[in-house]
Amino acid sequence: MPKTKILWLSCIACNGNTHSFFNYPHLEKFLEDFEFIYHPVINSEYSLEEVVSKDLPCELLLIEGSISQDLKRANKSLVEIIQNYSKRVKKIVTVGTCASFGGIFNESDYEDVSGLHFKNKECVERFKDIKEKSISISGCPIHPEVLVNTLYGIKKDLTLKLDEYLRPKEYFAYTVHNGCVRNEYFEYKIDNHKFGSLEGCMFYDHGCQAPFTHGSCNKILWNEVNSKTRSGLPCMGCTEPDFPRGNFYETKKNMGIPESLPVGVNKRSYLTLAGITKAFTIERLEKKLLDD
């Protein structure tokens, strides 16, 4: 099977998604099946000037970073470059939360900064004619395996079911809470956590957003070994349209109730469940896991 040609464009970005992609454990095998006609960081077949001045053949357009009408590359509007190549490629993939939703750059003074199709949760009309070709891989940074597996799905002409934000349901139908090794602490409302420790849930006091953040971080481990919550840090909700959400290490509460509840749980149900589980005292869960 011939290699699939990729054009990777960098917009307003920190290159964090690029570096995450480079940590894909099987990158050599990936490069046997795909090639970059242009990438802003690695040596590529063509220069950026050639990308802009010519209509180069490619099948996938990958966009990293937030988009602004004023942004230029090689003296040409980036919006025009995207519009030009979007007509030629098989699929367009937004790489990261900035490209998908605008991300942290939505906080800038430039009102037209956004993702390709969304500004936070609101639809953007600028590229609506290419929306049916687009797939969003959100994350700050993206999970490299989610990106690569999606690209292979496109290469093999698989049907990828997408959610309302164009994210593949295969990876974003779950919450990060799904597969978390701290779920037993969550169930019994035990938040005796200290950052970096193995014990305790981080949802109730330490700002963990895993129960209402869509992603597969605890199902497909980073570097095949770890995740934020496994290593003792709270999920920051980086795949969601409204990322970033204020203080990452503190749970906002109203009268002792977390302001944001797990997906699909209303406050009345939460209070009922919390009242029942708080009645339990489980000595095993109050101890250090590795102590004698």
- Among the residue ranges 6-15, 38-47, 264-273, the one predicted with the least confidence is 264-273
pLDDT digits (tens, 9 = 90+) for 18-32: 999 999 999 999 999
Give the other-Cβ count within 10 Å of 82's Cβ. Answer: 21
**Domains defined along the chain, listed by start:** 4-169 (3.40.50.700), 174-292 (4.10.480.10)
Q: Which strand (E) or helix (H) includes residue 29?
A: helix 27-33
The whole-number pLDDT of residue 284 equals 80
pLDDT of residue 262: 86
Q: What percent of the chain has pLDDT over 90?
A: 73
Per-residue pLDDT averaged across 68-85, rounded?
Answer: 93
DSSP 8-state code for residue 5: E
Supply the pLDDT for residue 67.
96
| 199 compared with 272, residue with greater pLDDT | 199
Q: Are 240 and 138 in contact (CB under 8 A)?
A: yes
Using pLDDT thresholds of 50, 70 and 90, give the confidence band for residue 292: low
pLDDT at 41: 94
Mean pLDDT of the 246-259 span: 83
pTM of the predicted structure, to 2 decimals: 0.92
d(CA 158, CA 147): 15
Query: Which of 45-49, 157-161, 198-202, 251-255 shows the lowest mean pLDDT across its residues?
Result: 251-255
pLDDT at 290: 82
pLDDT of amino acid 116: 97
CA 222 to chain CA centroid, nearest Å: 13
pLDDT band at 274 (very low <50, low <70, confident <90, very high): confident
Please give the average per-residue pLDDT across 231-236, as a whole number. Answer: 94
11's CB contacts (< 8 A; 6+ apart) are 63, 64, 65, 66, 67, 68, 71, 78, 98, 99
Q: For 146-182, what is each residue's pLDDT tens digit?
A: 999 999 999 999 999 999 999 999 999 999 999 999 9
Q: Judge contact between 94 and 140, C-beta under 8 A.
A: no
Average pLDDT estimate for 74-103: 96
| Stronger pLDDT, 284 or 73, i.e. the higher one | 73
